[in-house]
């Protein structure tokens, strides 16, 4: 069997299993199994499939045929030009979240700022902000200890571990001040930028998700409560518990949630401007609120 024949046979197996984009998925898994790039794959299509690679190739195909996301099989996902380890303990970073990072970077520029990434998961947002803005100090939180372990590894792999502090906790709870305040004591943590991609899928919609998401990605990172807005309500209510209101709040939201999320921010504080950023499908995917110094 040549490498090209293995590719076609793998795509056929995935198609029979009801896997979408079977050619692209087979290609990614073949590249991973062979440890080569796309150019080498195209060059070597007529070469024999290495016998030593067959077991790993067939095992990865079986996992994908069973519905496992290809990113978990490969153990990594690209985000904003960097590689991030992903495991079933973290949500797989999506391309639309790169637009959220891009909007935050554009709105805040440089300077020595403090950014907080709530619900960090793989650490993709926090690590990217730290890597793109070396003068920033970045904090990142997650309720899952396993997710924080993955995020710490990604910070080390991308040479950002000295500028990202990871904290385990529920939304803004570790950072608010006052009596019985979070891990930063009664003073809390003063942040300039609050960014979050929290769970936003309504609970009743979870059974209808694609099986790759429903059966494999962590429910903790998906379930946003009855209407998907529970995390946003809680964060909006917690804003006043911070030592000062952030200059910028940037949230990723679900389809049809942008107006409601913006209303929560308006109720919580006065903002100079609130605007939306659309994703590649034309959906208002990100809500940003900014205020003057």
120 annotated as belonging to a binding site for a ligand: yes
Mean predicted lDDT score pLDDT of the chain = 94
Q: Is position 72 within any domain?
A: no
184 lies in the same domain as 112: yes
182 annotated as belonging to a binding site for a ligand: no
49 lies in the same domain as 86: no
Say if CB 246 and CB 192 are below 8 A apart.
yes
List the structure tokens of 233. 């309500």
Over residues 129-146, the mean pLDDT reads 96
Over residues 243-269, the mean pLDDT reads 97
Q: Is position 128 within any domain?
A: yes
Which DSSP string do the residues of 152-212 spell out, in sequence order?
HHHHHHTT-TTTEEEEESSTTTTT--STT--TT-TT----SEEEE----B-GGGGGGS-HH
Say if CB 17 and CB 25 are below 8 A apart.
no
154 annotated as belonging to a binding site for a ligand: no
Q: Is position 71 within any domain?
A: no
Q: How far is CA 38 from CA 5, 75, 111, 179, in A?
A: 16, 18, 39, 57
The pLDDT of residue 20: 87
56 lies in the same domain as 101: no
* Residues β-bridged to residue 159: none
The pLDDT of residue 78: 95
- Taking every pair of Cα atoms in the chain, the longest distance, rounded to a whole number of angstroms, is 69
pLDDT, tens digit, for every residue of 146-187?
A: 999 999 999 999 999 999 999 999 999 999 876 555 676 566
Cα 163 from Cα 32, distance rounded (Å) = 31
The pLDDT of residue 186: 62
Counting the structural domains of the chain, the total is: 2
Over residues 207-233, the mean pLDDT reads 94
Place 110 in a pLDDT band, splitting at 50, 70 and 90. Answer: confident
Over residues 125-151, the mean pLDDT reads 96
96 lies in the same domain as 161: yes
The pLDDT of residue 113: 95
The pLDDT of residue 178: 66
The pLDDT of residue 79: 97
119 annotated as belonging to a binding site for a ligand: yes
pTM for this prediction: 0.92
- Nearest CA among 168, 173, 227 for reference residue 200: 227
Q: What percent of the chain has pLDDT over 90?
A: 90
Place 111 in a pLDDT band, splitting at 50, 70 and 90. Answer: confident
pLDDT, tens digit, for every residue of 269-284?
A: 999 999 999 999 999 9
144 annotated as belonging to a binding site for a ligand: no
98 lies in the same domain as 124: yes
121 annotated as belonging to a binding site for a ligand: yes
More confident residue, 188 or 267: 267
158 annotated as belonging to a binding site for a ligand: no
123 lies in the same domain as 60: no
The pLDDT of residue 185: 58
177 lies in the same domain as 41: no
pLDDT, tens digit, for every residue of 57-98?
A: 999 999 999 999 999 999 999 999 999 999 999 999 999 999
The pLDDT of residue 288: 98
The pLDDT of residue 182: 63
33 lies in the same domain as 121: no
Which DSSP string do the residues of the chain spell out, in sequence order?
-BHHHHHHHHHHHHHHTT-SSHHHHHHHHHHHHHT--HHHHHHTTTSBPPHHHHHHHHHHHHHHHTT--HHHHHTEEEETTEEEE--TTSPPP-HHHHHHHHHHHHHH-SSS-EEEEES-TTSHHHHHHHHH-TT-EEEEEES-HHHHHHHHHHHHHTT-TTTEEEEESSTTTTT--STT--TT-TT----SEEEE----B-GGGGGGS-HHHHTTS-GGGTB--TTS-HHHHHHHHHGGGSSS--SEEEEE--TT-HHHHHHHHHHH---SEEEEEE-TTS-EEEEEEE---
* Host domain of residue 185: 77-290
Q: Is position 234 within any domain?
A: yes
CATH number where 244 lies: 3.40.50.150
81 annotated as belonging to a binding site for a ligand: no
């Amino acid at each position: 069997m040549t490498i090209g024949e293995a590719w076609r046979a793998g795509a056929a197996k995935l198609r029979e299993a009801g896997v979408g984009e079977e050619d692209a998925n087979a290609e990614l898994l073949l590249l991973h199994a062979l440890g080569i790039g796309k150019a080498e794959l195209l060059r070597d299509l007529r070469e024999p499939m290495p016998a030593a690679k067959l077991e790993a190739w067939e095992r990865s195909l079986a996992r994908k045929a069973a519905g496992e996301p290809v990113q978990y099989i490969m153990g990594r996902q690209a985000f904003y030009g960097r590689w991030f380890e992903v495991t079933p303990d973290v949500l797989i970073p999506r391309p639309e979240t790169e637009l959220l990072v891009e909007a935050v970077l554009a709105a805040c520029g440089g300077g020595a700022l403090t950014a907080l990434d709530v619900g960090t998961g793989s650490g993709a947002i926090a690590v990217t902000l730290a890597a793109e803005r070396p003068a920033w100090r970045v904090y990142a939180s997650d309720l899952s200890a396993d997710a924080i372990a993955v995020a710490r590894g990604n910070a080390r792999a991308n040479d950002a571990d000295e500028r990202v502090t990871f904290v385990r906790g529920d939304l803004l709870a570790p950072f608010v001040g006052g009596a019985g305040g979070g891990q930063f004591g009664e003073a809390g943590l003063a942040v300039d930028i609050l960014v979050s991609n929290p769970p936003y899928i309504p609970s009743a919609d979870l059974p209808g998700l694609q099986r790759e998401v429903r059966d494999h990605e962590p429910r903790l990172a998906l379930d946003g409560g009855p209407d998907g807005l529970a995390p946003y309500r809680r964060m909006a209510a917690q804003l006043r518990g911070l030592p000062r209101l952030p200059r910028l709040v940037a949230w990723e939201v679900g389809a049809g949630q942008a107006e409601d999320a913006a209303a929560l921010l308006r109720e919580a504080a006065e903002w100079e401007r609130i605007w939306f950023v659309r994703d590649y499908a034309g959906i208002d995917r990100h809500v940003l609120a900014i205020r003057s110094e």
